[in-house]
Amino acid sequence: MSAASDIAKDHKLAVFPAFHRVADRKVVIAGGGDEAAAKIRLLSETSARLVVVAKTLSPASEAAVATSGAVWIDRLFAPDDLADAALAFAASGKEAADRAVVEAARAAGVPVNAVDRPEICDFYVGALVNRAPVAVAITSTGTGPVLARHIRAKIEAMLPGETGALARIAESLRETIASVFSNGTDRRRYWERFFSGSVADALKLRGEDAARRTAKELIGTREHTGRVTLVGAGPGAEDLLTLRAQRVLQEADVIVHDQLVPDAVIAMGRRDAERVAVGKAKGAHSVTQERINEILVERATRGERVVRLKSGDPMIFSRAGEEIAALEAAGIAYDIVPGVTAALAAASSAKIPLTLRGIASSVVFATGHDRHSNVLPDWANLALSGATVAVYMGRTVAGKVATRLMAAGLPATTPVAVVENAAHADERAFTGRLDDLPELSRRSDVDGAVLIVIGEAVGEAGANAAEPLAPLGALLEAA
């Protein structure tokens, strides 16, 4: 067999995902130990009639039977116990006994699962996310149950607890929507609004009755109400994006994004969502802030759900205030999803405590330039008082910043750190003293986005692979 055939085979499932109908049907669990208890608890999330067959019950199984309402048959398993069963579980913990249950189930035509014995199972039990009537099951085909549980935890966090109630309301309206909206596109647009707009918001904030009223009101509102969400993309690592940001990206009709937002984060949006790049790039003119404001208003006015995706946190050095003012003036609804700002990402990566008892009790977020491109000394007094200063967009003016701070009285020996491309795969960290900072603008090997941290707390950073800020030649020359 060729290597290509082997790869193709590796990508084919050995199982076919399916959901068994068990409502009001008998499901048999053969066994009374802790293995059986786990299955009883899991199956109690269904409306099946549970029958537990075991001579004795462990404390865990006894408690599971009591809370689930299962019927306990106090004896050893017999093949007749499988009569009219929808499913069977061999959970005795003993190989010979479990194999006997499997053989009896197969003879009776009942699908069977043997706990912790994947080689003799007819089906596997996935890690379950229950948002009844919505269910998500994850399986590793018996090879990695811990991995399946980790995936389940992520899905649990992403699916709001109200998901099931939202699905029930949708089911109750399905025939009404089909009769009101004869056009398939209109129906799809209605359900998109239903699941991601005002109905979902009403359910979360005011309960199921309010959500039903909102859903009915929505039927008569043919125009799609636009909305803008300012979303913080964080420093660039996909796993630092908030769960709310991921959800909003999936609901967007159009994503208006900065140049610095990585493609992998933008790709988290809905596949058919339009992407509009508006940020700065080397050698290319950026879209003006005035034009960005116009784009947000224009697209929301069309009835689209717009995500304005910004690096870091949208409320820190990202001109969110100007965009908010434009949306307010146009009467456009908007909300804001925070992100991990560069200072926090850089401090975590470089293991720098931004505050430290007895050393630094405050943090200053500063920018290397004002709106007229002048170096800002306004925060010098705060640095002198012991605050840790995180300087954004300061690479090209690092020398001027250091000169101004030293002229104001901050010691040349004050520890500094520079983090390039914080939280990215190509992140680099540099450490040194305040009088080393002018070297930053001279280094041709540092051309990514940098965050400068200045203050005594930097000297308390944890162990890391930081490089010296001043190259060896500069250090020898200074000596």
- Of residues 308, 222, 321, the one with CA closest to residue 273: 308
Whether 206 and 242 map to the same domain: the answer is: no
Whether 352 and 309 map to the same domain: the answer is: no
Whether 47 and 168 map to the same domain: the answer is: no
> Bridge-partner residues for 312, per DSSP?
234
Across 66-71, average pLDDT: 96
Q: What are the tokens at 257? A: 């994004």
d(CA 384, CA 455): 9
Between these two residues, 365 and 280, which has the higher pLDDT value? Answer: 365
User: Is 47 a member of any domain?
Assistant: yes
pLDDT at residue 162 is higher than 80: yes
Residue where a domain stops, chosen among 219, 248, 265: 219
Amino acid 285: pLDDT? 53
Please report which confidence band the pLDDT of residue 283 belongs to, taking 50, 70 and 90 as the band edges: very low
Between these two residues, 8 and 69, which has the higher pLDDT value? Answer: 69
Whether the Cβ atoms of residue 235 and residue 342 lie closer than 8 Å to each other: yes
Is residue 258 flagged as an active site residue? yes
Whether 233 and 328 map to the same domain: the answer is: yes
- Of residues 394, 396, 397, 382, the one with CA closest to residue 451: 394
Whether 347 and 474 map to the same domain: the answer is: yes
Q: How many residues does the chain have?
A: 479
Q: Which of 258, 313, 435, 436 is catalytic?
A: 258
Across 10-31, average pLDDT: 87
CA distances from 247 to 20, 90, 196, 299, 381 (A): 29, 40, 9, 20, 42
Span 350-387, pLDDT tens digits: 899 999 988 888 998 988 665 544 555 566 777 778 88
Is residue 280 flagged as an active site residue? yes
Whether 331 and 353 map to the same domain: the answer is: no
d(CA 300, CA 74): 65
Across 75-88, average pLDDT: 96
> Bridge-partner residues for 335, per DSSP?
229
pLDDT at residue 457 is higher than 70: yes
- Which domain CATH number covers 401? 3.30.950.10
Across 82-86, average pLDDT: 97
Amino acid 9: pLDDT? 55
- Of residues 191, 177, 138, the one with CA closest to residue 13: 138
Amino acid 225: pLDDT? 66
d(CA 88, CA 51): 10
Whether 215 and 243 map to the same domain: the answer is: no
pLDDT at residue 224 is higher than 60: no
Q: What are the tokens at 144? A: 């990695």
Whether 54 and 111 map to the same domain: the answer is: yes
d(CA 250, CA 15): 29
Whether the Cβ atoms of residue 55 and residue 93 lie closer than 8 Å to each other: no
The alpha carbon of residue 4 and the mean position of all alpha carbons in its chain are separated, in whole angstroms, by 34
Q: Which of 55, 74, 280, 335 is catalytic?
A: 280
Amino acid 113: pLDDT? 95
Residue where a domain stops, chosen among 289, 314, 337: 337
Amino acid 195: pLDDT? 80
Please report which confidence band the pLDDT of residue 475 belongs to, taking 50, 70 and 90 as the band edges: very low
Residue where a domain stops, chosen among 307, 337, 367: 337
- Which domain CATH number covers 32? 3.40.50.720
Count Cβ neighbours within 10 Å for each residue of 401-425 and write b for 16 or more, e otherwise: bbbebbeeebeeebbbbbbbbbbbe
**Among all chains, which residue has been given the structure tokens 């109400």?**
225
pLDDT at residue 229 is higher than 90: yes
| Amino acid code (one letter) for 424 | H
pLDDT at residue 6 is higher than 70: no
pTM score = 0.64
Q: What are the tokens at 11? A: 């990508």
Whether 391 and 360 map to the same domain: the answer is: yes
User: Is 19 a member of any domain?
Assistant: no
Whether 236 and 317 map to the same domain: the answer is: yes
The alpha carbon of residue 373 and the mean position of all alpha carbons in its chain are separated, in whole angstroms, by 36
CA distances from 437 to 374, 376, 410, 440, 464 (A): 18, 16, 13, 6, 19
pLDDT at residue 22 is higher than 50: yes
Q: Of the ranges 279-288, 296-305, 339-348, 440-449, which one carries the lowest mean pLDDT score?
A: 279-288
What proportion of the chain, given as a percentage, has pLDDT over 90? Answer: 42
The alpha carbon of residue 330 and the mean position of all alpha carbons in its chain are separated, in whole angstroms, by 31
pLDDT at residue 32 is higher than 60: yes
Amino acid 36: pLDDT? 95
Which residue range(s) make up the domain with 435? Answer: 343-478
Whether the Cβ atoms of residue 300 and residue 226 lie closer than 8 Å to each other: yes
User: Is 20 a member of any domain?
Assistant: no
> Bridge-partner residues for 53, per DSSP?
30, 73
Q: Residue 195: phi, psi to the nearest 5? A: -80, -20
Burial of 103 (0-12, 13-18, 19+ CB in 10 A): middle
Whether 79 and 51 map to the same domain: the answer is: yes
Amino acid 11: pLDDT? 63
Task: Give the highest mean pLDDT range of 14-23, 71-80, 375-384.
Answer: 71-80
Please report which confidence band the pLDDT of residue 325 belongs to, taking 50, 70 and 90 as the band edges: very high
Across 396-402, average pLDDT: 85
User: Is 272 a member of any domain?
Assistant: yes
User: Is 137 a member of any domain?
Assistant: no
Amino acid 217: pLDDT? 85
Order of strands, sheet of 71-73, starting from the edge strand that comes earlier in the sequence: 71-73, 49-53, 26-30, 85-90, 112-114
Across 197-210, average pLDDT: 82
Q: Of the ranges 82-91, 203-212, 463-472, which one carries the lowest mean pLDDT score?
A: 463-472
pLDDT at residue 184 is higher than 60: yes
User: Is 11 a member of any domain?
Assistant: no
Amino acid 164: pLDDT? 86
Whether 327 and 355 map to the same domain: the answer is: no
pLDDT at residue 114 is higher than 80: yes
The alpha carbon of residue 255 and the mean position of all alpha carbons in its chain are separated, in whole angstroms, by 17
Across 343-356, average pLDDT: 91
Q: According to the 3-state scheme, what is the secondary structure of the chain?
A: CCHHHHHHHHCCCCCCCCCCCCCCCEEEEECCCHHHHHHHHHHCCCCCEEEEECCCCCHHHHHHHHHHCCEEECCCCCHHHHCCEEEEEECCCCHHHHHHHHHHHHHHCCCEEECCCHHHCCCCCCEEEEECCEEEEECCCCCCHHHHHHHHHHHHHHCCCCHHHHHHHHHHHHHHHHHHCCCHHHHHHHHHHHHHCHHHHHHHHHCHHHHHHHHHHHHCCCCCCCEEEEEECECCCHHHCCHHHHHHHHHCCEEEECCCCCHHHHCCCCCCCEEEECCCECCECCCCHHHHHHHHHHHHHCCCEEEEEECECCCCCCCHHHHHHHHHHHCCCEEEECCCCHHHHHHHHCCCCCCECCCECCEEEEECCCCCCCCCCCCHHHHHCCCEEEEECCCCCHHHHHHHHHHHCCCCCCEEEEEECCCCCCCEEEEEEHHHHHHHHHCCCCCCCEEEEECHHHHHCCCCCCEECCCHHHHHHHC
**Among all chains, which residue has been given the structure tokens 């002018």?**
438
Across 342-350, average pLDDT: 90
Q: Domain tally for the chain?
A: 4
User: Is 115 a member of any domain?
Assistant: yes
pLDDT at residue 152 is higher than 70: yes
- Which domain CATH number covers 263? 3.40.1010.10
User: Is 142 a member of any domain?
Assistant: no
Amino acid 476: pLDDT? 39
